[in-house]
Structure 1
């Protein structure tokens, strides 16, 4: 949450709620979305909880005199337990005290923000992370083309090449991971024009760009049918990175022939996307 609120637009939106709302709210604070989200923003922005404090250690018989007189320097910090309890309500995992997956949690938080902000007639500031991906499918037999748009707020990159999991490098550049994600691949699907299974050339591109791009590294791969975590470091070099190279022209292009019934392809694509999400769990 600290990373999320480090964005000025997100912070300003929720911080602006704090004073006005707390003066008029008559709900139980632990059950009020506005109370919890604005308190979190206030705590992070005010600096009240980042002040250094001193505390004398509790003495015990095993300490010498110098240790007994020692002073610990600490800060209160923020423990947003009430916020987590409220946001996690209704989710089997996030309402518990068990360790959770950060990517799944932030997606749940985004969905909660979207719902709660819409209820209050406010614009969700986390829309700055939203963007559209375009999947282009071309049948290698009839060369019919189908386009499928996917709305998302995260780019999921495999940190190593999945076809060569036996070779795990110590580090990988972001540009290489992007090239893999946006590279062409051959998949087998039902073609509504050919009326049977055919190989399709699949190409994925940005349809538009977000204000802020969230990149999630997929660090699990399968070796001998066993899920294995990859500890390869992701090296981010932005100097020569140009995402325009991965931008779609947008929709059916001159000379292309659309498939007569793209819905069948879309259904299979949706199933494929859902399976990808399951594989990340």
Structure 2
């Protein structure tokens, strides 16, 4: 097997270097799992489970036990027992696909791995999901979030430690009225940072006249752009610039309770806490005839020292006047999933349309909402204000169904917690579970939040410690015009970072069952990281 530059790739074998067999459009799953299991917390958690869980497992079928499946994956990927060259039989269909003909009579034939098959895991984790249960290509970023949520549910049902807390952090939203200059702060828990990437085209150039056709930009350019006989070149952008744009103040309309009038408010978002592992989803999308297409904007990412400290929020400051609380019967807007909103607005949809679509589709994700928008673009009320509900009416909302309450309780929550979470999220079981994990101190009592008052401060995920410096640990790359087509691969750094971001280790490319060195050549991490879709940063400790 050779790279795009014609040089032969060096296959790797051994512990932590096991590939995964492609089951048919399953590369999104493989690249996500390789990235997650590169983290020591996940390695320790599920390798330990591989030893202690099977003897005590009460599930009669390991195929339907998530803990069994995850511990088997940990052993399969990390033990090294399966990371061995595939030895094809004469009749083996793999014989012609995993070998390279020798360049001369003395050069041995190169064999790659067969890869472990995760058919049972894929069936289990995708069960009852509208997209992940199919054989279609999926969004690796969405699958990663789905996987983390599945891990939380499964761990809670078994009353065991769950490792997803390393991704948790809180963002601080600050709103300032431009008239009275009163301010309001609120925090929101997150575990994946959806980061819009500005799209600025360079002047189009004829493909044949371009001398550097083998450059990283040309290699990563989408099939769609190549097929239309044009070369679209985009201005590179620094990751720090994307973060600065995200945290910069913007203007928004706001009903100020102090002024009792609609005013222009200044809104800004910063970080209240920082996670141990920072997941960044680079949102590179552009609408082309109302069809969202991925665009290859190079994002320059620091490998050894991403400093998030400049983006920290400071909370209410001395001299600032906090805006009064809204009236209890004031109109309230439903809660919207921040990631889904970021994806939809990043595709160019106005905020009001994105919210209307999420409401109309039962908060079932950005893709379902996007399809709804395409079907209702000509609706006369598409840009009308959203219907609002008062807090009193919300508290007296229709009681959730017993089946929904029972389902949430099976995940380890009390009936009171399940009932309140379902009411807060429109009777959506999936969103109710997410709400419960983001409100761990809420016992389900309707009076608990009010009684707590302003003096009670909920524990936020992540850490307030500074400096908040990170090193790139892994990234998931995608080739193709849409995240729902094409191909995903993962790059993983095998070392452990020291306080300066250095450390011994090298980069490895996981391309389904093929595992090769990626320190140089066309597949080098440094060459392909500007076009990655999901980045995994590990925090460096002093």
TM over 0.5: yes
Which of 131, 156, 161 is the matching residue for 1:123?
161
Secondary structure of the 1:257 match is: coil
Q: Kindly report which structure 2 residues correspond to 1:1-281, keeping only aligned pairs within 5 A, or say none.
A: 1-25=33-57, 27-56=60-89, 58=91, 73-160=111-198, 169-222=234-287, 225-237=290-302, 241-250=306-315, 252-261=316-325, 267=332, 270-271=335-336, 273=338, 275-279=341-345, 281=366
For the residues of structure 1 that align with 2:121 and 2:326, how far apart are their CA atoms? 43
- Give the conservation status (yes or no) of the 8 Å contact 1:55–1:71: no
Determine if contact 2:202/2:234 at 8 Å carries over to the other structure: no
- Could you tell me how far apart the structure 1 residues matched to 2:141 and 2:326 are? 31
Contact 1:165 1:221 in 2 (8 A): no
Query: Is contact 2:201-2:235 (8 Å) kept?
Result: no
Gap regions ≥5 residues in structure 1: none
Answer yes or no: is the 8 Å Cα contact 1:148–1:266 preserved in 2. Answer: no
SS of the aligned residue for 1:54 comes to coil
Superposition TM-score, scaled by structure 1 size: 0.85
Stretch deviating more after TM superposition (201-210 or 115-124): 115-124
Q: Distance in 1 between matches of 2:111 and 2:160?
A: 41
**Structure 2 CA distance for partners of 1:267 and 1:2, relative to 1, 3 Å:** farther
Task: Identify, as 1 or 2, the structure richer in helix.
Answer: 1
Structure 1 residue 192: Cα displacement: 2.0
Corresponding residue SS for 2:287:
strand
- Whose relative contact order is higher, 1 or 2, with alpha carbons under 8 Å and at least 6 apart? 2
**Counterpart contact for 1:140–1:200, Cα < 8 Å:** yes
The answer as to whether partners of 2:201 and 2:234 remain within 8 angstroms in 1 is no
Give the gaps of 5 or more residues in structure 2. Answer: 1-32, 102-107, 204-232, 347-365, 367-542
Aligned pair in 2 of structure 1 residues 248, 132: CA closer, same or farther (>3 Å)? same
Please state how far the C-alpha of 1:261 moved relative to its aligned partner.
2.0
Deviation at 1:242, TM superposition (A): 2.5
Contact map agreement 1:138 1:201 (CA 8 A) in 2: yes
**How many pairs does the alignment contain?**
270
Question: CA-to-partner distance for each residue in 1:35-83, whole Å, 9 max, x for gaps?
Answer: 1010011101111221112225559xxx9xxx8xx96723121221211
Deviation at 1:23, TM superposition (A): 3.1
Shift of 1:29: 1.4
CA RMSD of aligned residues (A): 2.9
Cα distance, 1:271 vs structure 2:
4.3
Query: 1:138 touches 1:144 (CA, 8 Å); kept in 2?
Result: yes
**Alignment match, 2:21:** none
Contact 2:41/2:163, CA 8 A, preserved across alignment:
yes
Quickly say closer, same or farther: Cα 1:144–1:96, change in 2 above 3 A: same
Query: Would the alpha carbon gap of residues 254 and 262 (structure 1) be closer, same or farther in structure 2, given more than 3 Å must change?
Result: farther
Cα distance, 1:152 vs structure 2: 0.5
CA distance in 1, matches of 2:72, 2:195: 34
Give the distance between the partners of 1:235 and 1:97, measured in 2 at CA. Answer: 33
Contact 2:174/2:267 (8 A) holds in 1 = yes
TM-score by length of 2: 0.46
**Structure 1 residues 193 and 270, CA gap change in structure 2 (3 angstroms):** farther
Indicate if the aligned counterparts of 1:189 and 1:199 stay in contact, CA closer than 8 A: yes
- Give the structure 1 partner of residue 472 of structure 2: none
Indicate the residue corresponding to 2:530 in structure 1: none
For the 8 Å contact 1:54–1:72, the answer to whether it is kept is no
> In proportion to residue count, which structure has more strand?
1
Q: Kindly state the Cα deviation for residue 272 of structure 1 after the two structures are TM-superposed.
A: 8.3
How far is the alpha carbon of 1:133 from its aligned partner?
0.4
